[in-house]
Amino acid sequence: MAWWHRMKMLWRNLARKREVSADLDEEIRAYQAMLEDEHLQAGADLATARRLALLETGGAQQIKEEVSDIRLGVTLETVASELRQSLRGLRRNPSLTLLAILMLALGMGASITVFSIFQAALLQPMPFREPDRLVELWETRLARNIDRSSFSLANFWDVHDRNHSFEELAAYRYDNANLTGVGEPQKVSASSVSTGFLRTLGVAPVLGRDFVDDDVRGGSESSVALLGNAFWKQQFNGDANVIGRTLRLGDRAYTVVGVLPRSHVWLNDQIYIPFGSGPNMNRGSWEFSVIGRLAKGVSLEAASIDLEQIAASLDQEYPQDNKGMGFLLGSANEWVARTNTRLALWVLLGAVGLLMLIACLNVANLLLARGTARHREIAIRAALGADRTRLTRFVMMESLLLSALGALLGLGIAFLSLRAMQTLQIQGLSRLDDASLNPWVLGAAVFIALMTGLLAGLAPAVHVPNGAITGFIRDGERQTGGRGANRLRAALVTGEVALSFVLLVGAGLLIRSFTELVNVNHGFQSENRMLFSVNMPSSYWQDDSGKQFIDRLLGQLEALPDTLAVGSISHRPVEGGNPGMSIATHATTADAAASHWAGWRITSPGYFRAIGLPLLRGRLINDQDLSVWRPRDKATPARHVVISAALAALLFPNEDAVGKQVVLWKGQSNLNAEVVGVVGNNHERGLADNPALTVYIPYGPGALTSEFVIHTRGNPSGLAPIIRSMVAGLDPRLPVADLRSFDDIVHRSVSPQRLNASLLGVFSGMALILAMIGIYGVLSYSMSHRTAEIGLRVALGASRSSILRTTVVQGMRPALPGILLGAIAAWWLSQAFANLLFGIKPFDPLTYAAVTVLLSLTALAACYLPARRAMRIDPAVALRAE
Instruction: Report d(CA 89, CA 607) in Å as an integer.
Output: 73
> What is the closest distance, in whole angstroms, from the C-beta atom of residue 23 to other proteins in the complex?
8
Instruction: Report d(CA 492, CA 499) in Å as an integer.
Output: 11
> What is the closest distance, in whole angstroms, from the C-beta atom of residue 467 to other proteins in the complex?
18
> What is the closest distance, in whole angstroms, from the C-beta atom of residue 40 to other proteins in the complex?
10
Instruction: Report d(CA 421, CA 660) in Å as an integer.
Output: 53
For other proteins, give the closer residue by CB, 31 or 652: 31
Neighbouring-strand partners of residue 678: 617, 643
For other proteins, give the closer residue by CB, 69 or 633: 69
> What is the closest distance, in whole angstroms, from the C-beta atom of residue 457 to other proteins in the complex?
25
How do 224-227 and 166-173 pair as beta strands?
unpaired
For other proteins, give the closer residue by CB, 28 or 722: 28
Contacts 24+ apart (CB under 8 A), 183-188: 183/235, 184/735, 185/732, 185/733, 185/734, 185/735, 186/735, 186/737, 187/533, 187/535, 187/735, 187/737, 187/738, 188/231, 188/249, 188/270, 188/271
> CB-based contacts of 69: which residues, under 8 Å, 6+ apart?
none
> What is the closest distance, in whole angstroms, from the C-beta atom of residue 472 to other proteins in the complex?
22
> What is the closest distance, in whole angstroms, from the C-beta atom of residue 384 to other proteins in the complex?
14
For other proteins, give the closer residue by CB, 42 or 204: 42
> What is the closest distance, in whole angstroms, from the C-beta atom of residue 73 to other proteins in the complex?
10
Instruction: Report d(CA 605, CA 620) in Å as an integer.
Output: 7
CB-CB contact of 21 with 57 (8 Å): no
Contacts 24+ apart (CB under 8 A), 481-486: 481/369, 481/372, 481/373, 481/375, 481/785, 482/372, 485/368, 485/371, 485/372, 486/372, 486/782
For other proteins, give the closer residue by CB, 66 or 334: 66
> What is the closest distance, in whole angstroms, from the C-beta atom of residue 20 to other proteins in the complex?
9
For other proteins, give the closer residue by CB, 71 or 264: 71
> What is the closest distance, in whole angstroms, from the C-beta atom of residue 31 to other proteins in the complex?
5
For other proteins, give the closer residue by CB, 70 or 590: 70
- Beta carbons within 10 angstroms of residue 57's beta carbon: 16
For other proteins, give the closer residue by CB, 71 or 630: 71
For other proteins, give the closer residue by CB, 58 or 577: 58
One-letter identity of residue 137: L
Residue of 328, 150, 322 lying closest to 667 (CA atoms): 322
CB-CB contact of 674 with 625 (8 Å): no
Burial class (CB in 10 A: 0-12, 13-18, 19+), 272: buried
Q: Write the DSSP string, 561-624.
A: TTEEEEEEESS-TTTS---EEEEEEGGGTT-GGG-EEEEEEEE-TTHHHHTTPPEEEE----TT
> What is the closest distance, in whole angstroms, from the C-beta atom of residue 67 to other proteins in the complex?
5
- Beta carbons within 10 angstroms of residue 782's beta carbon: 19
> What is the closest distance, in whole angstroms, from the C-beta atom of residue 76 to other proteins in the complex?
14
For other proteins, give the closer residue by CB, 29 or 162: 29
Q: What are phi and psi of 614, to 5 degrees?
A: -75, 145
For other proteins, give the closer residue by CB, 30 or 206: 30
> What is the closest distance, in whole angstroms, from the C-beta atom of residue 71 to other proteins in the complex?
7
Please give the helix or strand (H or E) that residue 737 lies within, else none. Answer: strand 736-741
> What is the closest distance, in whole angstroms, from the C-beta atom of residue 831 to other proteins in the complex?
55
Instruction: Report d(CA 846, CA 863) in Å as an integer.
Output: 26
CB-CB contact of 824 with 738 (8 Å): no
The residues of the shown chain that bind other proteins, judged by CB under 8 A, are 2, 5-6, 9, 13, 23-24, 26-28, 30-31, 33-35, 37-38, 56-58, 62-63, 66-67, 69-72, 387
For other proteins, give the closer residue by CB, 6 or 217: 6
> What is the closest distance, in whole angstroms, from the C-beta atom of residue 46 to other proteins in the complex?
15
| SS3 call for 367 | helix
Burial class (CB in 10 A: 0-12, 13-18, 19+), 301: exposed
For other proteins, give the closer residue by CB, 37 or 623: 37
Length of the chain: 882
Please give the helix or strand (H or E) that residue 707 lies within, else none. Answer: strand 707-712
- Beta carbons within 10 angstroms of residue 715's beta carbon: 13
For other proteins, give the closer residue by CB, 56 or 147: 56
- Beta carbons within 10 angstroms of residue 23's beta carbon: 11
For other proteins, give the closer residue by CB, 8 or 164: 8
> What is the closest distance, in whole angstroms, from the C-beta atom of residue 201 to other proteins in the complex?
60
Instruction: Report d(CA 403, CA 539) in Å as an integer.
Output: 67
> What is the closest distance, in whole angstroms, from the C-beta atom of residue 41 to other proteins in the complex?
9
For other proteins, give the closer residue by CB, 36 or 306: 36
SS (H, E, C) 441-482: HHHHHHHHHHHHHHHHHHHHHHCCCCCCHHHHHHHHHHCCCC
CB-CB contact of 91 with 97 (8 Å): yes
For other proteins, give the closer residue by CB, 77 or 315: 77
Instruction: Report d(CA 229, CA 56) in Å as an integer.
Output: 85
> CB-based contacts of 484: which residues, under 8 Å, 6+ apart?
463
Instruction: Report d(CA 178, CA 9) in Å as an integer.
Output: 77
> What is the closest distance, in whole angstroms, from the C-beta atom of residue 35 to other proteins in the complex?
6
For other proteins, give the closer residue by CB, 19 or 130: 19
> What is the closest distance, in whole angstroms, from the C-beta atom of residue 101 to other proteins in the complex?
36
Instruction: Report d(CA 481, CA 593) in Å as an integer.
Output: 76
